[in-house]
Every structure is written in structure tokens, then in C-alpha cells.
Amino acid sequence: MKPITVLDSNIYISSVFWNSAPYIIVKKAINQEFSAYISSHIIYEIRKVLARDFDLQKQEIDDIVDALQQFTSFVEPKEKIVEIREDPDDDKILECAVACKAKYIVSYNNHLLKLKVFRGIKILTPKQFLDLIRK
């Protein structure tokens, strides 16, 4: 069975612009080497950051989001989680992971990474995740 994984919005965004670990991870998701799940909040974050930090036009952002939705499974979290006091928006990643019963969260976010594990879900950097799935 392919591991269920939630990729943080920063992983998707990095994969669009840089040929780095997130790019490799997204390619592996496209190739169905693991099951990637996404929520409306993650999509919202991607849209917000692409518009704010990369000055992309609405059509460019729509195209990126449409492409992401081709290889991800959508889940709408039901449970409200309050765990990360420093940045409550980060709880939305945890909510998505709990909702889809993820095995992994992949992120560059230090608030998430310092948890290491949340309800049995391992929280990994892109490099750690690649090392794990290459074994």
C-alpha cells in the first residue's frame, strides 16, 4: 500500500519554481509512488502565496492548482485542531493529515517539524521523506 502523505503548501510552491527535493517529491506523487492528499485550506494557501510572493496572474495560479488536483486526493477536514500556538494556520496541515489518516507530513515549516510526530503521523523535511521512500 502506498503511504498516505500530506505535502505542505510550501512543498508544492517550491516544486513549481525550483528543481530541488520538493520537485522530486511532486514528481513521485504524479507517478503515484505515494498518495498525496490536499485540502481546501492548502489550496487556499498555495493561491495566496503565489499571488503575494510570486506576482502570478489569476490564470497562471489556476493552471498550477488545476495541475496539482490531477494527482492529489481531496479531503475536507472535519476536526478542528489547536496545536501550534505560534501560527494557528499550521494546524490546517495537521487537520488535513488527520482527516486522510496520513502516515507522513512533508514540510519546511519549523513549527510543524519541531513536533516530529503528531498522533502517529511523522513530520519530515523533504530530504528526510525522500530518504525514507527511497529505501
> If you write DSSP's letter for every residue of 15-70 in order, what string do you get?
HHH-SSHHHHHHHHHHTTSSEEEE-HHHHHHHHHHHHHHH---HHHHHHHHHHHHH
**Cβ atoms of 77 and 94 closer than 8 Å:** no
- Where does residue 7 fall: left (phi above 0), alpha (psi -120 to 50 degrees), or beta otherwise? beta
Architecture of the domain whose range is 4-134: 3-Layer(aba) Sandwich (3.40)
pLDDT number for residue 59 = 98
Q: Could you tell me the residue ranges of all domains in the chain?
A: 4-134
Handedness of CA 19, 13, 98, 83 (dihedral sign): positive
For the question of whether the overall pTM of this predicted structure is more than 0.85, the answer is yes
3 burial level (CB within 10 Å; 0-12, 13-18, 19+): middle
pLDDT number for residue 29 = 97
Mean pLDDT, consecutive 10-residue stretches, the chain (135 aa), reads: 94 96 97 97 96 95 96 96 91 98 98 97 98 86
pLDDT number for residue 102 = 98
pLDDT number for residue 135 = 67
pLDDT number for residue 1 = 73
